A and B are shown apart, each in its own frame.
Chain A
Amino acid sequence: MIHQQPKLDTSPKVSDEVRKTTCYMCACRCGINVHMKNGKVAYIEGNRDHPVNKGVLCAKGSAGIMQVNAPSRLRAPLKRVGPRGSGEFQEITWDEALEIATGWLKPIRENDPSKLAFFTGRDQSQSFTSFWAQNFGTPNYAAHGGFCSVNMAAAGIYTMGGAFWEFGQPDWDHTKLFILFGVAEDHDSNPIKMGIGRIKARGARVVGVNPIRSGYNAVADDWYGITPGTDGLLILSLIHVLMKAGKIDLDYLARYTNAPCLVIENPGADDHGLLLRDADGKVQVIDRATGEPAPFDRPGVRPDLTGTHVQNGQTCHTVMHKTVNRYLSEEYTPEAVADRCGIPAARIRALAAEIARVAFDEAFEIEQEWTDFRGETHKVMKGRPVSFHSMRGISAHANGFQTCRALHLLQILLGTVEVPGGFRFKPPYPKPVEAHPKPHCKATPGAPLDGPHLGFVRGPEDLALKPDGSPARIDKAFTWENPMSSHGLMHMVISNAHAGDPYKIDTLFMYMANMSWNSTMNTRGVIDMLTDKDESGEYVIPRIIYSDAYSSEMVAYADLILPDTTYLERHDCISLLDRPICEADGAADAIRWPVIEPDRDVRGFQTVLVQLANKLKLPGFTDENGAAKYTDYADYIVNHQRKPGIGPLAGFRGAAGDKAGRGEVNPDQLDRYIANGGFFVEHVPDAARYYKPWNTAYQDWAVGMGLYDSPQPYLFQLYSEPMRRFQLAAEGHGERQPPDHLRARISQRLDPLPIWYETDQHGNEGFTVNALTQRPMAMYHSWGTQNAWLRQLHGRNPLYVPTKIMREQGLEDGDWARVTSPHGQIVVPVMEMAALNDNTVWTWNAIGKRKGAWALEPDAPEATKGFLLNHLIHELLPPKGDGLRWANSDPVTGQAAWFDLKVKIEKVAGPEEMTESQPAFDPIKSPVGTGPKTLAWKVGE
């Protein structure tokens, strides 16, 4: 047949209309263009104008169309009519659902608001949900940070006023060496992929420190396959080598950190180890010009890193002095740490040498004048092109807080934070601890809580304790067990509520948290707690309200289901009051808006909270006559003001919509956002782009934007005074005293200079292999696996086992292995992986599903071969015989120590000898049935 070509229309109409909103297929919050045909979603692509993704979009984002048509979407409010866990529900109207909820919540609020525990999972509206909880009056509110990554966030804020991900980013334009720590590939994922692509395109080096060489580590130029839980030790060794070689930035340390601050030497007294302050409370440094103490911020002062000061006959030294004494110790030489880290000493030295070379030999300057907080004007901005970043992995251990602190110490010693080429904050960060609220926990019947729930403690006086010293919160956040638990401890709520420790609750109210499956430790145990009854035949946790958009495993365990919309059917705001979408060069926020209307009887959860607040006549939502201030969430977004002129959205404020940050309410604000592509961005002025914590141009800009009430220059905290205050309490000082059994732990673990310690190995005898999970880049939480397109990418999750263990155990790909931990066992399929730490196994998180959930058929591989490691992890450590319950959490913040898991592995069967992973759970009855047998989703003609 001779060559012939048909006529082809190469300019077909793309869509009827493009609606621009914000993605919610993960926590990245990219801008999306939703192409509409015939009123339906035809195609989703990235928004080129958007500050987060600049046009690109990941697999999840493009698969959003399959989320919106998902057969697992809940269709109407449900009332439980069978026993908990049976999945027996009756569809009810919203009027009835709201009546039931109000009937439960009203008496709680009138009698004892703490009987409500309200926890909101993967919530992106925490400034709103916390406002609701505060007005309700319960102290028991948090989102999922406590089981996710509070170590990362809190260590960053306590050390340098910001952390990674939403808080800050590498200077992708200038960095020449990018070092990425930690397992996981989800947080901030498109910006990190874009950044890695950009720096590799210009030949910069990428180093990955991660037990697993997948994803970003697969493209890293050098891979450090570290032993899980030893990142802090490696970092302190790098500090040792760099410091010993004098490769630290002395000028930066003297000017911008508390390294020159004097530490009070007064053994046995209640101020021993605190920082020396003047009568105004300003920390003191020795001025090299005068040799005398001076407040750190006095114009013209030249802080001396090695100054001393004699007080009461004792010589006070600087923080720098303490830092040198600690990290020059032989215990941190590469040779001393190599075996424990699983990395040869020569490779540790090579990494240190490369860091030193790039930081100091490739230092550069940007021609940009700027003025610091002491009034000194600098002609240029000095750059050090080494940047660090970290994913969740390093924080998911019981030494995670100190490990994250150590990483920040390393980058601060190098002088590479907030400088060109280094790590940069995103507004509203930098923001020191002093600019954050303290936790509040005083509940009063019929009244709001005395302030915001979550915050940053400065010392024992800020703990959430009742007058008798017992925990005020159901999750025991901000107690001596975990004093600096800034995000709460979601993973302890059900366990504590079931145990009545510290007290019993009446209603558990949750949102987007799959607590009877992958969002909990000890899944079987938690299911039992949710269904357990007391002697009178009543449920131990009497009432459970749950909101979800999908038929998740948790639905069957609630008494009342409030069905949420999908992300394309709702209003949302990604607010500067919360976790905004800013980039280092701009303050930005965004909205979601209903680009389609729901075809089911569902409501956005935040709107339901407004409606409940109005029925309960909560202050903040109703006026003095009880009349509603807001009809729904959109109304709240536009009209709520946290302070005069400051609301959930910073853009298009004022009557004319021309004010940014501060400005009166603009009734047309949402329309202006929609016209602008769903977001708003205000760029940081050139003179304010770097050195933000100390740069007057940035500070003034931030005040103008409403990010601060007044300029907030501060010093980076190599030495953490709040931690020292807890140590002083443990040493017997102060009114508030820890229980005796926690004194030693507080003294050791709340060291004000970063330390590394091996996590509690009690009960781990015989369990020697580290077991981890991470999420694939193409999935997020449980939602992904129901997605018809995404589940074809990652519908199976074998246990990835390193070659060495495969050989030792005689395992072949597809074999079934028993994986045992001190807490439990699972039997799962295995697959060999060579690019993996020799003593670590891992699997993809949240692929495994329970039969009957998510509208999947019962023989779906997620429900047969899929599995969770959660069955192997307990929320409590093994009993030590002291009669106490020790949480499997970081002793500083309470972060769930998921990655401390140790297991052993043995072969039990060949590939064909078993068909299902163990434990196999009974199917749960689905409220939505299962999906169609074929799919060919074309909405246009």
Chain B
Amino acid sequence: MTQLPQSTDRKMGLVIDLDTCVGCHACVISCKGWNTENYGAPLSDQNPYGADPSGTFLNRVHSYEVQPPEGHAQLIHFPKSCLHCEDAPCVTVCPTGASYKRSEDGIVLVNESDCIGCGLCAWACPYGARELDLAEGVMKKCTLCVDRIYNDNLPEVDRVPSCVRTCPAGARHFGDLGDPDSAVSQLVAERGGMDLMPEMGTKPVNKYLPPRPKDRIEDQIDILAPLLAPVADEPKGFIAWLDKALEKL
């Protein structure tokens, strides 16, 4: 019902490194703080001190256990926010034009004054990346901190989304994924960055870097075996070896 732009000048987005994310939730709360105070209505909380507290978050970290066929189970931390899809179904489904994708940078936003809180966009999003704010009755989503990344009142180094600025492990990267020479595009190329659920046909801009293979230390044992060849079997022999080794120092 709402049209997407024909194309966008840039494709601004996030690259999230699943090999490095320790699941600390720093990005979740930094996002909550910035976006409660800034763009649009505050992110509200219901029953904040009671049973079943629930609030609006634009970014959440989920944790999944993975059991490979061989070896130990693994725990993957998976941060998730709006992926600013090129073919964003949340925009096209919007009955009022409140949801839109910016032609200059591809950021998907909600114009809160036009949002009627019908929730169709949340149904349309295959990633569950939109949340209806219960206090305000409007749809909230990741803005890619559109009020930070061009903000002349911030030092240039701080013109990044708050989640990127705060991530202690450096697992979040921000840039133009439409430019193959950008640092984020290079990172995606080097590390085999992936789309989330490409089969949905949404063409997400955000990319995920997959975890590196784990628990391979024993695979090196053959090559490394000579490293551990004993210099002596008994303490007495070892002391004799020590003496000789010391002479060489």
A190 partner, pick from B51, B136, B168, beta carbons under 8 A: B168
Known contacts A57-B26, A777-B24, A789-B45; can you find 6 more A-B pairs with CB under 8 A? A10-B147, A193-B169, A254-B249, A789-B32, A934-B44, A936-B45
Q: Quick one: closest A residue to B229, CB to CB?
A: A245
**B238 on interface, CB distance cutoff 8 Å:** yes
Chain B residues closer than 8 Å to A246, beta-carbon distance: 231, 241, 245
Chain A residues closer than 8 Å to B211, beta-carbon distance: 219
Chain B residues closer than 8 Å to A200, beta-carbon distance: 19-20
What is the CB-to-nearest-CB distance from B49 to chain A, in angstroms, rounded to a whole number? 3
Q: A12-B151, A857-B49 are in contact. Are A354 and B234 (CB under 8 A)?
A: no
> Are A3 and B5 neighbours in the complex by a CB distance under 8 Å?
yes
Q: Mark B36-80, 1 if CB is under 8 A from A, else 0.
A: 111001111111111111110100000001010000111111000
A196 partner, pick from B22, B37, B48, B103, beta carbons under 8 A: B22
Q: Quick one: closest A residue to B224, CB to CB?
A: A353
Q: Quick one: closest B residue to A859, CB to CB?
A: B51
* Bound complex: CA A864 to CA B52 (Å): 11
> Are A244 and B230 neighbours in the complex by a CB distance under 8 Å?
yes
A933 partner, pick from B50, B94, B136, beta carbons under 8 A: B50
What is the CB-to-nearest-CB distance from B84 to chain A, in angstroms, rounded to a whole number? 15
> Are A349 and B24 neighbours in the complex by a CB distance under 8 Å?
no
B25 partner, pick from A778, A856, A936, beta carbons under 8 A: A778
Count residues of B near A (Cβ-Cβ below 8 Å). 106
Chain B residues closer than 8 Å to A63, beta-carbon distance: 29, 32-33
> Are B235 and A324 neighbours in the complex by a CB distance under 8 Å?
yes
What is the CB-to-nearest-CB distance from B143 to chain A, in angstroms, rounded to a whole number? 10
Q: Quick one: closest A residue to B248, CB to CB?
A: A250
Q: A4-B100, A45-B162 are in contact. Are A245 and B3 (CB under 8 A)?
A: no
Instruction: Give the residue among B22, B29, B149, B153 with the most A Cβ atoms within 10 A.
Output: B29
> Are A218 and B74 neighbours in the complex by a CB distance under 8 Å?
yes
* Bound complex: CA A834 to CA B30 (Å): 30
Chain A residues closer than 8 Å to B232, beta-carbon distance: 244
Q: Pick the interface stretch among B119-127, B199-207, B215-223.
A: B215-223
* Bound complex: CA A13 to CA B113 (Å): 21
Q: Which residues of B contact A (CB under 8 A)?
A: 1-6, 19-26, 28-30, 32-34, 36-38, 41-55, 57, 65, 67, 72-77, 94, 96-97, 100-103, 109, 111, 113-114, 135-136, 146-147, 149-154, 157-158, 162, 165-171, 211-212, 214-218, 220-221, 224-225, 227-235, 238-239, 241-243, 245-246, 249
> Are B51 and A254 neighbours in the complex by a CB distance under 8 Å?
no
* Bound complex: CA A360 to CA B200 (Å): 51
What is the CB-to-nearest-CB distance from A911 to chain B, in angstroms, rounded to a whole number? 16
* Bound complex: CA A251 to CA B46 (Å): 64
* Bound complex: CA A5 to CA B243 (Å): 80
> Are A793 and B38 neighbours in the complex by a CB distance under 8 Å?
no
What is the CB-to-nearest-CB distance from B75 to chain A, in angstroms, rounded to a whole number? 4
Q: Which residues of A contact B (CB under 8 A)?
A: 1-6, 8-14, 35, 37, 42-46, 48, 53, 55-63, 65, 71, 185, 189-190, 193-194, 196-198, 200-201, 207, 213-223, 225, 241-247, 250-251, 254, 288, 304-306, 320-321, 324-325, 328, 346-347, 349-354, 356-357, 361, 777-778, 786, 788-793, 795, 803, 833-836, 855-857, 859-861, 864, 930-940
A198 partner, pick from B74, B146, B170, B231, beta carbons under 8 A: B170
> Are B67 and A834 neighbours in the complex by a CB distance under 8 Å?
yes
> Are B21 and A219 neighbours in the complex by a CB distance under 8 Å?
yes
> Are B48 and A931 neighbours in the complex by a CB distance under 8 Å?
yes
Chain B residues closer than 8 Å to A13, beta-carbon distance: 153
B33 partner, pick from A43, A245, A835, A860, beta carbons under 8 A: A43
Chain B residues closer than 8 Å to A46, beta-carbon distance: 165-166
> Are B22 and A857 neighbours in the complex by a CB distance under 8 Å?
no
Q: Quick one: closest B residue to A360, CB to CB?
A: B227
Instruction: Give the residue among B44, B73, B152 with the most A Cβ atoms within 10 A.
Output: B73
Chain A residues closer than 8 Å to B3, beta-carbon distance: 1-3
* Bound complex: CA A222 to CA B47 (Å): 41
6 contacts between A and B (CB under 8 A): A1-B3, A53-B168, A56-B165, A214-B23, A324-B242, A931-B49
* Bound complex: CA A833 to CA B67 (Å): 11
What is the CB-to-nearest-CB distance from B18 to chain A, in angstroms, rounded to a whole number? 9
Q: Quick one: closest B residue to A199, CB to CB?
A: B20
Q: A325-B235, A353-B224, A354-B220 are in contact. Are A833 and B65 (CB under 8 A)?
A: yes
Chain A residues closer than 8 Å to B235, beta-carbon distance: 324-325, 328
> Are A11 and B152 neighbours in the complex by a CB distance under 8 Å?
yes
> Are B25 and A777 neighbours in the complex by a CB distance under 8 Å?
yes
Q: A251-B249, A795-B53 are in contact. Are A350 and B24 (CB under 8 A)?
A: no
> Are A350 and B224 neighbours in the complex by a CB distance under 8 Å?
yes
A194 partner, pick from B51, B67, B101, B170, beta carbons under 8 A: B170
Q: Quick one: closest B residue to A222, CB to CB?
A: B217
What is the CB-to-nearest-CB distance from B142 to chain A, in angstroms, rounded to a whole number? 15
> Are B239 and A324 neighbours in the complex by a CB distance under 8 Å?
yes
Chain B residues closer than 8 Å to A789, beta-carbon distance: 29, 32, 45, 55
What is the CB-to-nearest-CB distance from B108 to chain A, in angstroms, rounded to a whole number? 11
